[in-house]
Amino acid sequence: MLRFIFGRLAVLIPTFIGVSIIAFSFIRLLPGDPVMLMSGERVMSPERHAQLMADLGLDRPIYIQYFDYLLNLLQGDFGSSIVTKRAVLTDFLQLFPATIELSLCAIILAVCLGVPAGVLAAVKRGTWLDQTLMGTALVGYSMPIFWWGLLLVIFFSGYLGWTPVSGRISLMYFFPQVTGFMLIDSLISGQAGAFKSAVTYLILPTIVLATIPLAVIARQTRSAMLEVLGEDYVRTARSKGLSPFRVIGIHALRNALIPVVTTIGLQVGVLLAGAILTETIFSWPGIGKWMVDSVFKRDYQVVQGGLMLIAAVIMVVNLIVDVLYGFINPRIRY
């Protein structure tokens, strides 16, 4: 197993370098002058502009800028914001718990609803229930996040008034954030109604962010279950008189979990990408909104560092998924 893990770790090195090239090149392809945006001056002398470019290191050849950037990354230095002068890693660690909280709630909702829906659709293949579940999943997968989010806000927040529009918790509550996770901090704060307020602010963003992963997981689970249900060992288990729950839940579902686990792991990237739109719509103070604001400000260091940190999270999750394969099916580690 250790050899398998080290082999997967070795693959991450060229992946990390490739992502660094993309992150470094991406922000420089955007139009706009970061010096002008940073200074806010409408008129700037050429001498002042050249001085600021030199201070930021943007006057050097592009390949030298990249190698300096890569060297800093290898030392754990993701740079500092051009606008706020704060370390990128510090801001990321401060905002990332909000994104983790939202993403975890979304993936839990997607798995808890998607896997049973896929199993049920496979067992009832060809029936109206199968067509309804898969049709609903297709609709959910096809809906743009920004449109779906605005629709829920208009209906549940504007028309019915059941849920708040934006933020993480009501302004009525104030307490120190120990963990950065609002659900945990509100629960341990001891303030009456704080936890309920945090939950109500989390409902709509969770539903919006979970919609696409839920649809993908449901369809993948159905496909994997249909393939497994036709295997000989499943027919043998049924012929022995085992209960449907044991045949489907233990013999079939466990062997269908490998592609499902792969899909769940890949959805982490989808969740982080979807969090950019979701956090922008609901003014959720996470890394998605932070990245969007940085793109508009042409904050090179934040965009580069944020992309690398997000990529590192996705690579770690994919490594964990690969290791889980060995526990689900021991033959894979060989």
Instruction: Report the pLDDT value the prediction gives residue 113, as an integer from 0 to 100.
Output: 92
CB 119 within 8 A of CB 253: yes
Q: Can you give the pTM of this predicted structure?
A: 0.78
pLDDT, position 29: 72
Residues in the chain: 334
For residue 41, the model assigns a pLDDT of 52
Closest CA to 318 of 252, 272, 284, 282: 272
Helix (H, G, I), strand (E, B) or coil at 258: helix
Q: Are 282 and 166 in contact (CB under 8 A)?
A: yes
In the chain, residues under CATH classification 1.10.3720.10 are 88-333
CB atoms within 10 A of CB 64: 10
**Mean pLDDT, 10 residues at a time, the chain of 334 residues:** 71 80 75 63 66 71 80 79 81 87 90 89 85 87 84 86 83 80 83 85 90 89 82 71 71 76 77 80 84 78 82 80 68 55
pLDDT at 40: 57
The CATH code that applies to domain 88-333 is 1.10.3720.10
